[in-house]
Structure 1
Amino acid sequence: MGLTTEEQKAVEQFREQVVTPSMDKLVILDFWAEWCGPCKQLTPVLEKVAADYADRGVVLAKVNVDENKFIAAQFQVRSIPTVYAIFQGQPVADLTPARTEPQLTQMLDQILEKLPVTRGDTTPDPAAQIAPLLDAGEELLDHGGEEQAYGLFIDALGIAPEHPAALSGLIRALAAMGRAEEAQAIFDSLTDEQKSDAALVRANSVLSIAAAAVAPDELEALKTAVATQPDDHAKRIELANALMAAGFRDEAADELLHSIAADRTWNDGAAKARLLEIFAMIGLEDPWVSATRRKLSAILFG
């Protein structure tokens, strides 16, 4: 009663994705947001545990707090990530303190002992089936094996055609193979909801970097232009993008850090925003990202 059309839609979607499954399953309900770093670190843990516990009647549901403020408000979400266990439409446990796989599995084991959760059937879980393919594909991408990675992501999509991580891997593999136009066409064909997934946001960042690629002589001309006009932040960021597209990420980061140190507020912090986008694209757990983030922190807070 008294709900807006958007709120009614949110409630209906929540009922379909969370309440109804929770009538006989245990739903892990994850409140997250795209900008939340800890959320991105927790997501793989939740996905793995949900896949491992699927045969015991556990499923994972995610609520983006930016897109579902009404639902988040009903659960009085004050910070994210916030994670609840839902059974028969009601929260039965706060899983938020569990940030590692052992912590989460211990809590789930205790909950499942007390509740009449219907065990899952023996139908293979697509997410569990493709997990090894995705892991191997990412490993190959990190070490220059984009063509082999492409084949693995194709195989994964054959099992789960709309899986965001598989789509992201395929797009990034194509970009690494020099087939950026094909990769962009695949990304453009996705729905807005798919594009908002963290894995596909990362793929889009890769595409934007690939689009900045220039010929070697143009790259040298950009370097010369920046050397002669060191205060031209736009040109320096253009150079950083071209360097990143050419695979020179140390040099690209140096240019962006130089711009941030000189004027961190230029164009609403464009240099910092680009560097953070590169961090997300490479992966926050990457050693290079960790080292470069320390350089950024030294500039911002030193």
Structure 2
Amino acid sequence: MASLGLSIEEQKAVDRFRKAVVEPSMTQLVILDFWAEWCGPCKALTPVLEKVSAEYADKGVVLAKVNVDEEGFIASQFQVRSIPTVYAIFQGQPIADLTNARGESQLKAMLDQLLKQLPIQPAGDPAPDLEPLLAMGEEALEADDGERAANIFGQIAEIAPDSAAAHAGLIRALVLSGQVEEAEAVLAALDPALAADPAVERAKAALELAKDAPEDGELAGLKAAAEAAPDDHQAGFDYASAAFAAGDRDAAATTLLRLIAADRTWNDGAARAKLLQIFEVIGLEDAWVSAQRRKLSTILFG
């Protein structure tokens, strides 16, 4: 990708792309995924790409992701007009469009065909199996043991510094244990490519929500103010934000749903945006989130 005549920001974007995509593609096959946080089909495709690329890692296949909202210049260079858009990159050049390979079998078939034709250099040493360790960290998070989770994810991040899941888990664990400043430091130190990963974006959202944590005794006052003035949307919003940060997601969701039902356009849809942020942090596959999403749909669509 040419870099002459570019602005400083465009040059930085090219440098990031060169490091994350072009350099690895000199000896390996890079699956390049153009995505965005708001793109539903992207979220459905991500697990497929991650699973297949992990299975094909020892064959010299790696996955690279480009957030089109953050790397618009790179997306424009590839003339990306819709997402998800997925290319196979080798030696810096797109050699195949993988966008229509939405299933595992389709993607594997296309990769197998490409790998037969290319002088790919397989990975030398097999990557350590991180899945059991990551699962252990997630179990600690589910048990509300932030300190243990931080220790587990911190060790994984040392073993595999390129693991977005490890860094995301560490940020979430630090947030859970009340170490917000430490979590911010971990996020700030991440490579831009890692910081753009959906797992890290989810952890970042958790970090942002944690900043609403109330001081001792403040939550009761916010609740009383919201109950005393049910038509005061700001009071309700402040209480919901603090309630979630304090660990009471039921109170937060109930309050936000009430605000949305009363006036969904208040403050440019702030209540709905906050609720969606909570859903993203907890995980869209979570049963509690599914139940709250049904309630939201009933309010919005009747």
Residue aligning to 1:206:
206
Contact conserved, 2:154 with 2:170, CA < 8 A, in 1?
Answer: yes
| Mapped partners of 2:15, 2:196: distance in 1 | 21
Question: Where in structure 1 are there 5+ consecutive unaligned residues?
Answer: none
| Mapped partners of 2:266, 2:73: distance in 1 | 35
| Mapped partners of 1:80, 1:245: distance in 2 | 33
| Mapped partners of 1:171, 1:15: distance in 2 | 27
Letter of the 1:133 partner, please give it: L
| Mapped partners of 1:187, 1:24: distance in 2 | 30
Deviation at 1:154, TM superposition (A): 1.8
Residue aligning to 2:125:
123
Matched, 1:55 2:50: no
Q: Does the C-alpha gap of structure 1 residues 273 and 15 become closer, same or farther in structure 2, counting only changes over 3 Å? A: same
Structure 1 residues 166-194: Cα deviation after superposition (integer angstroms, max 9, x where no partner): 12211211222233343344345556665
| Aligned length in residues | 299
Residue aligning to 1:182:
182
Q: Residue 207 of structure 1 aligns to a residue in which SS?
A: helix
Contact conserved, 1:140 with 1:146, CA < 8 A, in 2?
Answer: yes
Contact conserved, 1:24 with 1:116, CA < 8 A, in 2?
Answer: no
Q: Does the C-alpha gap of structure 1 residues 86 and 132 become closer, same or farther in structure 2, counting only changes over 3 Å? A: same
Identity %: 59
Question: Where in structure 2 are there 5+ consecutive unaligned residues?
Answer: none
Alignment of 1:1-302 (within 5 A): 3-5=5-7, 6-7=9-10, 9-11=12-14, 13-113=16-116, 115-125=117-127, 129-161=129-161, 163-190=163-190, 195-214=195-214, 217-302=217-302
Q: Does the C-alpha gap of structure 1 residues 217 and 116 become closer, same or farther in structure 2, counting only changes over 3 Å? A: closer
Q: Residue 267 of structure 1 aligns to a residue in which SS?
A: helix
| Mapped partners of 1:81, 1:183: distance in 2 | 30
Deviation at 1:215, TM superposition (A): 5.7
Structure 1 residues 183-238: Cα deviation after superposition (integer angstroms, max 9, x where no partner): 34434555666544433332232233333233674323222211221111111111
Deviation at 1:160, TM superposition (A): 2.3
Deviation at 1:57, TM superposition (A): 1.6
Q: Does the C-alpha gap of structure 1 residues 293 and 3 become closer, same or farther in structure 2, counting only changes over 3 Å? A: farther
Contact conserved, 2:145 with 2:177, CA < 8 A, in 1?
Answer: no
TM-score normalised by the chain length of structure 1: 0.86
Deviation at 1:12, TM superposition (A): 5.2
Contact conserved, 1:130 with 1:159, CA < 8 A, in 2?
Answer: no
| Mapped partners of 2:185, 2:76: distance in 1 | 37
| Mapped partners of 1:229, 1:34: distance in 2 | 35
Deviation at 1:35, TM superposition (A): 2.8
TM-score normalised by the chain length of structure 2: 0.86
Structure 1 residues 44-90: Cα deviation after superposition (integer angstroms, max 9, x where no partner): 43233222212212122222212332332333322111111123444
| Mapped partners of 2:210, 2:21: distance in 1 | 39
Letter of the 1:101 partner, please give it: E
Contact conserved, 1:150 with 1:170, CA < 8 A, in 2?
Answer: yes
Structure 1 residues 99-118: Cα deviation after superposition (integer angstroms, max 9, x where no partner): 343432233223323x1232
| Mapped partners of 2:36, 2:65: distance in 1 | 10
Give the CA RMSD over aligned residues: 2.7
Q: Residue 277 of structure 1 aligns to a residue in which SS?
A: helix
Q: Residue 125 of structure 2 aligns to a residue in which SS?
A: coil
